Amino acid sequence: MIACRGLISNIYRLSTAPTGILARKNIYPGASNNIHTTPILWAEPLKKKKKLDPAVVRAREERKRKKIEKQIRRLEKNARQLKPLEECEIPLNIIDERDIRTRSNPPLPEEELERRALLEKSWSKYKQNHHLRDIKMLDRILFSQQKALDELRAESEELYQEAIQTDFHLIPFKSEGPVQTPPIDNYDVPDGDYLDVSRKWD
């Protein structure tokens, strides 16, 4: 307590002393009437670290590493899986009844196999001839068109240039043909609202 009072008195005496005296004695060069102190730092001694067994530390690190590797394997496994389509999946009861539902067709006789092979060959030949007829018809049309253009060019170059121009009135082509069902009189068209009941996948 006495030492504390002495310290306070010394601080008071230094703070009230003339500036010239302190500067002459080189106690505090450039000193003023104020004393600046640093703020109080409430510190405490560091806690002593507990010494752990190296085997325990190694076991903890090994558990962390295995846990991370397991998570990586799980992510890699799920990354290859696509989102399932429920409407395309086969129900489990049908998979269980596969043996009951399997049909065993009797083998076809030799005459039927021969008839089917000949029918397939004749059909292939018919389609080939049909394709060749279409190609010949297109060649005749293109040849006739080119011949007409050549004759027109011999008569007049201006008419030829007009003939080969693109007809832009034919580009927005629109046609209405027969549909599968006839139109329904006084049909109230829905506004397009629907309820989405599909399963949400994260």
Residue 84 confidence (pLDDT) above 90: no
Q: How far apart are the two ends of the chain, measured CA to CA in Å? A: 72
Q: Look at residue 22 and give its three-state secondary structure.
A: helix
**35-55 confidence digits (pLDDT tens):** 767 777 777 777 777 777 888
Amino acid at 49: K
Q: In this structure, is residue 29 part of a structural domain?
A: no
More confident residue, 13 or 199: 199
Examine the domain organization and report whether 112 and 78 are in the same domain: no
Phi, psi values for residue 176, rounded to 5°: -125, 120
**143-161 confidence digits (pLDDT tens):** 999 999 999 999 999 999 9
Range of the domain at 124: 108-165
Domain boundary among 48, 75, 98: 98
In three state form, how does the secondary structure of 128-197 look?
A: HHHHHHHHHHHHHHHHHHHHHHHHHHHHCHHHHHHHCCCCHHHCCCCCCCCCCCCCCCCCCCCCCCCCCC
- Angle among Cα 87, 89, 92 to the nearest 5 degrees reads 125
How many domains does the structure of the chain reveal?
2
* pTM of the shown model: 0.35
Averaged pLDDT of the chain: 81
Phi-psi region of 192 (alpha: psi -120 to 50; beta: other; left: phi over 0): left
More confident residue, 18 or 187: 187
Q: In this structure, is residue 4 part of a structural domain?
A: no
Q: In this structure, is residue 122 part of a structural domain?
A: yes
Question: How far is it, in rounded angstroms, from Cα 22 to Cα 173?
Answer: 106
DSSP one-letter code for 26: T
Q: In this structure, is residue 48 part of a structural domain?
A: no
Instruction: Extract the tokens encoding 125.
Output: 């030949």
Residue 24 confidence (pLDDT) above 70: no
Examine the domain organization and report whether 114 and 83 are in the same domain: no
Q: In this structure, is residue 93 part of a structural domain?
A: yes
Instruction: Extract the tokens encoding 11.
Output: 């601080």
Nearest of 84, 75, 78 to residue 200 by alpha carbon: 84
Give the residue ranges of DSSP H helices in 29-109.
54-79, 92-96, 98-101
Q: In this structure, is residue 2 part of a structural domain?
A: no
